[in-house]
C-alpha cells in the first residue's frame, strides 16, 4: 500500500517536473525568439509559438504550409523559404507577413528533423525580428550609395572649369551609377524647356516628354511612360531663386522599373545638378556683364572687337563683304552739361535703342565709350551701308527729340563708314582708323551726316 502511494507521488513529481521543464523551455524560447516553429514532412506547420506570433493566432497557422507567412518575392518570383531546412542553418534572413499586412524581417535558425528511416521528416527552428536593424542597415547602405553617387558626379565635374562641362561630366557619371540607358538635363527658359545635356540612348520626343513631366515634378522624382512604354524617371533640379531644371533618366526598352532607392539616388543627383545649373546661370551672367555696357545693354568695346575679329576670318573664307560704322552722337555734350548726367544717360539709352532697332539679329551694335557707338553689318557692301546710314539719320530727329536739349540742337549721328571687300585681308584696326577718319569728315560736313571712307 505504501509502495503504491509512493509510486503515485513519484509520478506526480515527475509530471510536475516535466511540465515545469517544458514551461521553462517555452518561456526561454519565447523570450529569446519572436517565432518558434516546427513543420512536418510536407512543410505544414505543426507548432507555432508564441501565440499569437506576428499577430497570427496559432490556430490560424497550424496545418497550413509555412510558406503562407512569406512575403511575395520581387517581380513575382517565388520567395526563398527559410522553413525548408536540409541542414542546420543560422542567420538566414527572410521577410514574413504580419497579420496586419505589414512585413517583418526575420533572422532564422533551423535544423532538419529526421524520421526512423533517416529521411527528412520536417524542420524545427526559431526566428528573431530584425526589421529595425534591417531598416537601419538599408538606410545606411542607401545613404552610402547616395554619397558614392554624389562623389562620382562631383569627381567628373571637378575636372571641368565651365558649368556646361560640369553638367556633361555629371551626366556621364550618372549613366553607370544609376543603371540608366540615357540621361538628359534641361533648363526652363520662359515657356520653353531647353536640353543642355543629352547622353546615352536617344529618347524620341524628349522635349515634349519633359514638358509633360515638368507639370508634376515639383514635389520630387516621379515616373512617366514614354510612347515606347519604357519608364522615364524625372526629378526637379533647382535651387531657390534659380530657373527650373529637370533631370531625366530612362532605361533601355524592356528595362526594369525604377525602385524607391533609385528615386532617392535621382533626387540626390538632381540636387547636385541644381547647384551646377545655378553655377551655370552665374557664369552666364558674369559673361554677359563682361561683354555688355551696363548703361545701354549693348556690347562693350572689348566684346565688339573680339566678335568682329572672329567674323572677319569667316568673311574671308566666304569672300563676302562687311561694313563698320563708327558713330558719334551729335549735340550730346549740351544735354549732359546743362540738363545733368541723368538726362545724358537717358539720351545714350535712347540712341542705343534706335541703333539696336536698325540692325538685323546677325549684326552687331556696341557702345565704344562716352557718346561713341559702332555697328558691324555682316555681308554689307557700300550700297547697303549707305542705305542703312540714310535710314538712321532719317529716324534720329523724331526718335531722339524727347531727349534732345531743344529743337536748335537736336540729337543726331555723325557716321563714318568703312567697307571691307571680301577676302581683302584688311585687319580690324585698319578699318577702325578708316571709319573714325570718315566720322570726323561727317562732323566737319555739319553733323547729322555720313561719310564713306575710301578703300
pLDDT value of residue 25: 58
Distances (CA, A) of 287 to 162, 184, 255, 283, 294: 11, 25, 42, 6, 13
Q: Are 443 and 416 in contact (CB under 8 A)?
A: no
> Can you say whether the dihedral through the CA atoms of 121, 124, 129, 135 is positive or negative?
negative
Task: Please report the pLDDT score of residue 26 as a whole number.
Answer: 59
Q: What is the dihedral of CA 23, 29, 30, 31, to 10 degrees?
A: 110
Task: Give the CATH H-level superfamily of domain 33-129.
Answer: PAS domain (3.30.450.20)
Indicate the pairing of strand 449-452 with strand 412-420.
parallel
Q: How far is the C-alpha of 103 from the C-alpha of 377, rounded, in Å?
A: 73
Q: Which CATH class is domain 301-452?
A: alpha beta
Q: Kindly list the domain boundaries of the chain, sorted by start residue.
A: 1-27, 33-129, 137-290, 301-452
pLDDT at 51: 86
Tell me whether residue 426 is exposed, middle or buried, using C-beta atoms within 10 angstroms of its C-beta: 0 to 12, 13 to 18, 19 or more.
middle
Query: Do the first three CATH levels of 33-129 and 137-290 match, i.e. the same topology?
Result: yes
Fold of 137-290: Beta-Lactamase (3.30.450)
What is the C-alpha to C-alpha distance for residues 100 and 122, in angstroms, rounded to an integer? 28
Q: Which residues fall within 8 angstroms of residue 298, CB to CB, at 6 or more apart? A: 292, 352, 355, 356, 365, 366, 367, 373
How confident is the prediction along the chain (455 residues), in pLDDT tens digits per residue? 455 556 667 666 666 666 555 555 555 556 568 899 999 999 999 999 888 899 999 999 999 999 999 988 766 667 788 998 888 888 899 999 999 999 999 999 999 999 899 899 999 999 999 998 888 888 777 777 777 777 777 776 666 667 677 888 888 888 887 888 888 888 887 778 888 888 888 887 777 777 777 775 566 788 887 777 778 888 888 766 555 788 888 888 877 888 888 888 888 888 888 888 887 787 777 888 888 999 999 999 999 999 999 999 888 888 999 999 999 999 999 998 888 989 999 999 999 999 999 999 889 999 999 999 999 999 999 999 999 999 999 999 999 999 998 888 999 999 999 999 877 888 999 999 999 999 999 999 889 999 999 97
The answer to whether the beta carbons of residues 440 and 416 sit under 8 Å apart is: yes
Amino acid at each position: 500500500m505504501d509502495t503504491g502511494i509512493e509510486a503515485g507521488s513519484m509520478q506526480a513529481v515527475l509530471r510536475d517536473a516535466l511540465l515545469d521543464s517544458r514551461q521553462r523551455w517555452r518561456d526561454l524560447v519565447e523570450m529569446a525568439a519572436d517565432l518558434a516553429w516546427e513543420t512536418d514532412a510536407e512543410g505544414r506547420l505543426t507548432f507555432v509559438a508564441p501565440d499569437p506570433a506576428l499577430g497570427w493566432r496559432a490556430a490560424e497557422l497550424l496545418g497550413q504550409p509555412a510558406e503562407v507567412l512569406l512575403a511575395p518575392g520581387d517581380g513575382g518570383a517565388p520567395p526563398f523559404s527559410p522553413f525548408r531546412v536540409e541542414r542546420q542553418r543560422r542567420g538566414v534572413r527572410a521577410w514574413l507577413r504580419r497579420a496586419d499586412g505589414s512585413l517583418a524581417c526575420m533572422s532564422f535558425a533551423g535544423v532538419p528533423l529526421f524520421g526512423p528511416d533517416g529521411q527528412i521528416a520536417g524542420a524545427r527552428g526559431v526566428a528573431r525580428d530584425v526589421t529595425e536593424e534591417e531598416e537601419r542597415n538599408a538606410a545606411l547602405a542607401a545613404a552610402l550609395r547616395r554619397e558614392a553617387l554624389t562623389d562620382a558626379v562631383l569627381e567628373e565635374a571637378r575636372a571641368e572649369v565651365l558649368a556646361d562641362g560640369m553638367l556633361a561630366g555629371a551626366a556621364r557619371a550618372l549613366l553607370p551609377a544609376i543603371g540608366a540607358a540615357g540621361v538628359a538635363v534641361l533648363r526652363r527658359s520662359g515657356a520653353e524647356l531647353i536640353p543642355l545635356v543629352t547622353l546615352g540612348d536617344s529618347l524620341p520626343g524628349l522635349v515634349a516628354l519633359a514638358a509633360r513631366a515638368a507639370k508634376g515634378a515639383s514635389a520630387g522624382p516621379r515616373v512617366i511612360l514614354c510612347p515606347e512604354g519604357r519608364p522615364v524617371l524625372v526629378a526637379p533640379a533647382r535651387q531657390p531663386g534659380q530657373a527650373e531644371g529637370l533631370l531625366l533618366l530612362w532605361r533601355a526598352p524592356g528595362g526594369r522599373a525604377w525602385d524607391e532607392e533609385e528615386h532617392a539616388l535621382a533626387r540626390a543627383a538632381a540636387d547636385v545638378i541644381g547647384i551646377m545649373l545655378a553655377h551655370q546661370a552665374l557664369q552666364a551672367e558674369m559673361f554677359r556683364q563682361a561683354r555688355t555696357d551696363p548703361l545701354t545693354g549693348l556690347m562693350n568695346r572689348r566684346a565688339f572687337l573680339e566678335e568682329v575679329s572672329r567674323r572677319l576670318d569667316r568673311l574671308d573664307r566666304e569672300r563676302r563683304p562687311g561694313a563698320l560704322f563708327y558713330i558719334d552722337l551729335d549735340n550730346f555734350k549740351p544735354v549732359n552739361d546743362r540738363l545733368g548726367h541723368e538726362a545724358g544717360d537717358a539720351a545714350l539709352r535712347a540712341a542705343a535703342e534706335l541703333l539696336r532697332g536698325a540692325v538685323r539679329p546677325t549684326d552687331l551694335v556696341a557702345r565704344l565709350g562716352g557718346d561713341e557707338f559702332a555697328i558691324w553689318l555682316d555681308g554689307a557692301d557700300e550700297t547697303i551701308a549707305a542705305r542703312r546710314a540714310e535710314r538712321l539719320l532719317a529716324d534720329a530727329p523724331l526718335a531722339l527729340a524727347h531727349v534732345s536739349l531743344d529743337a536748335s540742337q537736336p540729337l543726331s549721328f555723325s557716321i563714318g563708314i568703312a567697307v571691307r571687300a571680301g577676302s581683302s585681308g584688311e585687319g580690324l584696326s585698319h578699318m577702325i582708323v578708316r571709319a573714325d577718319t570718315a566720322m570726323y569728315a561727317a562732323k566737319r560736313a555739319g553733323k547729322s551726316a555720313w561719310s564713306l571712307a575710301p578703300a
